C-alpha cells in the first residue's frame, strides 16, 4: 500500500536560518506529490505540487521542493525562515484507482521558529 513518512515530528529553527523538511513516499508509479501548510486554527493551504517534468518545483511563500525518484523523497526547503512560517506541514502523495482520487498523507511536521 502507498504510504508517506515524515520522519521529523517537530523541528525548531531560528529566524533567518535555512529549513529542510523531509518526506519519503512509497508508490509504485510516478507519483503526484504535494506539500500543504496549516497555520494554527486554519485549514490546509497548498504550498506546491509535483506532477512531472522539472524535479525542482517552486511554491508560494518562497518554498521549493525537490523530487528524487532514486530516494523516494520530496523534501521541502526554504533558504531563510520567517517567524510567520511557524506552522504544521503535511506531505501527501496522490493515489488513483479507477474513478477514485485520494491523497495519502504523512502525519505532519510541526515547525517552530525562534526569534
Partner 1 sequence: DAGITQSPRHKVTETGTPVTLRCHQTENHRYMYWYRQDPGHGLRLIHYSYGVKDTDKGEVSDGYSVSRSKTEDFLLTLESATSSQTSVYFCAIGQGATDTQYFGPGTRLTVL
Interacting residues toward partner 1 by CB under 8 A: 32, 34, 36, 42-46, 49, 51, 90, 94-96, 99-103, 105-108
What residues have CB less than 8 Å from 13, skipping those under 6 apart? 19, 81, 111, 112, 113, 114
Residue with smaller CB distance to partner 1, 17 or 69: 69
Angle 23-26-27 from CA coordinates, rounded to 5°: 125
Output 39 or 80, the one with its CB closest to partner 1.
Answer: 39
In the complex, the smallest distance separating the C-beta of residue 16 from partner 1, rounded to whole angstroms, is: 29
Which residue's CB is nearer to partner 1, number 82 or number 102? 102
Give dist(CA 13, CA 44) in Å, integer: 22
List, in order, residues 6 or more apart from 70 with CB less than 8 Å away. Answer: none
Nearer to partner 1, 14 or 99 (CB): 99
3-state secondary structure of 9: coil
User: In angstroms, what is the minimal distance from the CB of 14 to partner 1?
Assistant: 26
Q: How far is the CB of 77 from partner 1 (least distance, A)?
A: 21
Amino acid at each position: 500500500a502507498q504510504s508517506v513518512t515524515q520522519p521529523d515530528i517537530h523541528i525548531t529553527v531560528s529566524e533567518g536560518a535555512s529549513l529542510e523538511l523531509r518526506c519519503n513516499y512509497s508508490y509504485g508509479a510516478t507519483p503526484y506529490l504535494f506539500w500543504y501548510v496549516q497555520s494554527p486554527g486554519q485549514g490546509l493551504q497548498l504550498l506546491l505540487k509535483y506532477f512531472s517534468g522539472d524535479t525542482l518545483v517552486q511554491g508560494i511563500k518562497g518554498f521549493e521542493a525537490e523530487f528524487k525518484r532514486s530516494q523516494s523523497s520530496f523534501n521541502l526547503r526554504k533558504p531563510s525562515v520567517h517567524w510567520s512560517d511557524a506552522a504544521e506541514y503535511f506531505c501527501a502523495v496522490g493515489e488513483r484507482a479507477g474513478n477514485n482520487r485520494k491523497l495519502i498523507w504523512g502525519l505532519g511536521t510541526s515547525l517552530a521558529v525562534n526569534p
